[in-house]
Structure 1
Amino acid sequence: MAEEAARVTAEVSGARSDGSGLQVRDVCRAFRSVHALSGVDLSLRRGEIVGLIGPNGAGKSTLVNIISGYDRPDSGVVTVDGVTVNRHRARDRCRSGVARTFQQGHLFGGLTVRENVEVAALATGVSRREAPAIATEMLTRVGAGEWAECQAHSLPHGVERRVGVARALASRPAYLLLDEPAAGLNEGEIASFGDAIRQIAAQGTGVLLIDHNIRLILGICHRIKVVVGGRNFLEGTPEEVRNDASLAEAYLGRSGRQDAARTADGGTEEPDA
């Protein structure tokens, strides 16, 4: 994993220089007197998994809303493969190759799982003839194929999370933003879900993973970006982030370094921040 992280980091450095990938540069956003984001940067390359972490109120959700087109920055630039998309709405971002999940599932309970994914595919402009095949493919990719004919309202929580990812994948995005996808999952579900995320990235999709589950973040991400108080705080490989003393103080708490190390080795999960 360390060699893989180093390889991807080198590729990302190249992406920054040539303008490819999804890039956020010096983004600021304020809500009246509250500065949610102040000069935040972020980059994501196809095939890479980047973790985005920080305490509650750090600005993570605001940043995801700006990247996905549900909000606009006051200043700064968001580009997708070299194209500035600041003024693009969410639907246009999706057509540009950016898709996201939400903390709430947003499934249609009266439809089957397959129909939920078909609706998402149709919304991107595919034909009714193509939609069923796309739904089958995406449900298989996330390991939810066996639930295809079940009513969405009857799904276990872990399966519901997977279907949410399948819906986002229906647009065949180049970059996928996962907003707390592991919330409420048990340890077995988290391990399986992590494997599914790895497979998505291995097939060429860049994944931005926002989650409080430190074990998941440390275990599958190539790089980790930490924001604190709406500002850039730390960025590096999982090993670099885990061993950074300033992170232990600012995010994980005074005993955070030891807790994170124990978590990464399979110990007790770090509580939500």
Structure 2
Amino acid sequence: MNRRDLPPLTEPPSVSAMKNIAIITGGSRGIGAATAILLAKSGVDICLSYQSDKASADAVVATCLAQGVQAIAVQADVGMREDIVRLFATCDAELGCPNVLINNAGIVGEAGKLVDLKPAVLQRVFEVNLFGAVYCCQEAIKRMAKSAGGAGGSIVNISSMAAKFGSPNEYIHYAASKGALDSMTIGLAKEVGPEGIRVNAIHSGTADTDIHERSGNPDRPAMVASINPLGRVARPEEIAEAAVWLALEKSSYTNGAIMPVTGGM
């Protein structure tokens, strides 16, 4: 078959005419908050979840509302399936059916060697970082899949460069949960691509957030900055820019990708 026998090229289906509605887990601070605000600036309605910091979540919602979009915050424990079901149902009722999901919520647990890892910490890290993402993907697919009457959509999983490097002596349990998230991203992209759903992930580098301080390892960002080729850690907005690109139609032919945003680490 020569070139003239090929069918004419067609543009990918445009979703610009439809209203984008995004669910962002862990959206009250850090990368999640930055992503919510950038999506709002792109005209996307926002439903963010938060664990306990209502004041911060409300502040993010206010910033999103100032962009002229609709925005709500829903308290939810991402590791609890019933909370995820309620999160999506609330979005349906107050904003409409979401066509963007950002699986951002994540914890590192306590820093330390694997031999000293507490069972409760291991359980909780996987509940939030992996099980919660699975629950969210299940609910999103039910709404986005063409076979279910949906119009397609986009899922972005915020993973970590720890999945590649393993984080020995610090966060092997966290790295393992993110490695599993990467595997899910690749498999799910192939599974639901025919349903009009793209699934991608970001290997986030260490960012300037309080996640390491909360894990009892406050010096880690400075250590990473000292060995990073760019000489610093990421700003949350820099990770968010990649997430927004993957979430929206400018990346319409990107599926199953794991994008490193690590400063060259």
Q: TM-score range by the shorter chain?
A: 0.3 to 0.5
Tell me the TM-score normalized by structure 2: 0.33
Q: Which has the higher contact order (CA 8 A, sep 6+)?
A: 1
Higher relative strand content: 1
Tell me the TM-score normalized by structure 1: 0.32
